Amino acid sequence: MKIIKYSYFIRAIPFLIFATASLHTMAADVDWSGVEAKTVKVFYPGQSSWAFLGDKDHGTGAAPVKTLKKGCAECHVGETGEYDINADAIISGTLKKSKTGTPLEPEAIAGAKGFVDVAVQAAYDAGNFYLRLQWAGSGASVKDAALAADDKADRISVQIADKISTFRNFGCFITCHDDQEGMPANRGAETHLYGYYTRDKGAVKDQATLDGYRSKGQFMDLWIASFAGTEVKAEDESILDNRTEDNNDLTATGSYENGKYTVVITRKLATGDANDIALTDGTAFSIGIAVHDNGNGGRKHYTSFPVSIGLSTAADISAKKF
């Protein structure tokens, strides 16, 4: 597998079973042995937020971020795929911020490794898109389904955008902020993921502006697959000025065997839902991946740099057409 550079429950609604049954069948028919797999590294970022990226605490990395032109991978990933991020030191609480000297992770996770490899495969046909993801982990909420009820399910999340240039450069970091729960500037308010561009001096922009972003497709689609025992649950959300649930247009299947999770997420290329990013043959889109594992919820997860997926066009990952 080539290394490239670069959170949950659906509410059980009986009629959805009939609407999605055919998707399950079609996903099961995909011959994944004939689809190329690419390895995407996810790393532990600690309390690295959008504000952190442009702050002196980021050291010399702050200056290129402020221009919004040079992406994370251009500085942190070498030509042969090596990462200069010391994620092992972040997760152990030993890596300090450049200016303040405070740890990037104030609540160290003992014994955890800083990097996880996720094998990504993509395929599509005339109507549907299929995303297969595999990664090693603890299987904590597979063994103890009660963790899922406490927002600590083992899960994988995928943010998707195709009309936001900063997402192509910085991925999920543009939705992660210091005022969110578990972050340095949070004062107890329930603040979720949001696009940095939806705020003006800390205040949410007016509804007409937000509606304009939505109508132009300038939001993030969010796909989540989580494990509660052996059951895999899918949730379909979007992120603009807040993180919100959509009509559930996803199905997910998966397993945990020999220390490895496998998930297949299926969605129609175009759902007709204004809160979903439409996927079109001949175009590409960007994704950011987050992995929660071993009973760690909230901000305590691994993340990736953005990576592109192409549907019969050039990209980091080529989706196979059936």
* Four-residue CA torsion sign, 106, 109, 110, 111: negative
Task: Provide the token pair at 242.
Answer: 């807040």
Q: What is the DSSP letter of 121?
A: E
Q: Which domains does the chain have, with CATH numbers?
A: 2-321 (2.60.40.1190)
pLDDT tens for the chain, residues 1 to 322: 444 443 333 333 333 333 333 344 467 789 999 999 999 999 999 999 999 999 999 999 999 999 998 999 999 999 999 999 999 999 999 999 999 999 999 999 999 999 999 999 999 999 999 999 999 999 999 999 999 999 999 999 999 999 999 999 999 999 999 999 999 999 999 999 999 999 999 999 999 999 999 999 999 999 999 999 999 999 999 999 999 999 999 999 999 999 999 999 999 999 999 999 999 999 999 999 999 999 999 999 999 999 999 999 999 999 999 9
- pLDDT at position 26: 63
Q: What is the largest CA-CA distance in the chain?
A: 56
The pLDDT of residue 252: 98
Residue 222 CA to residue 235 CA, distance in Å, equals: 8
Q: At residue 118, what is the residue type?
A: V
Residues 6 or more apart whose Cβ sits within 8 Å of residue 262? 132, 133, 134, 254, 255, 256
Provide the residue count of the chain.
322
- Whole-angstrom distance, CA of residue 63 vs CA of residue 55: 8
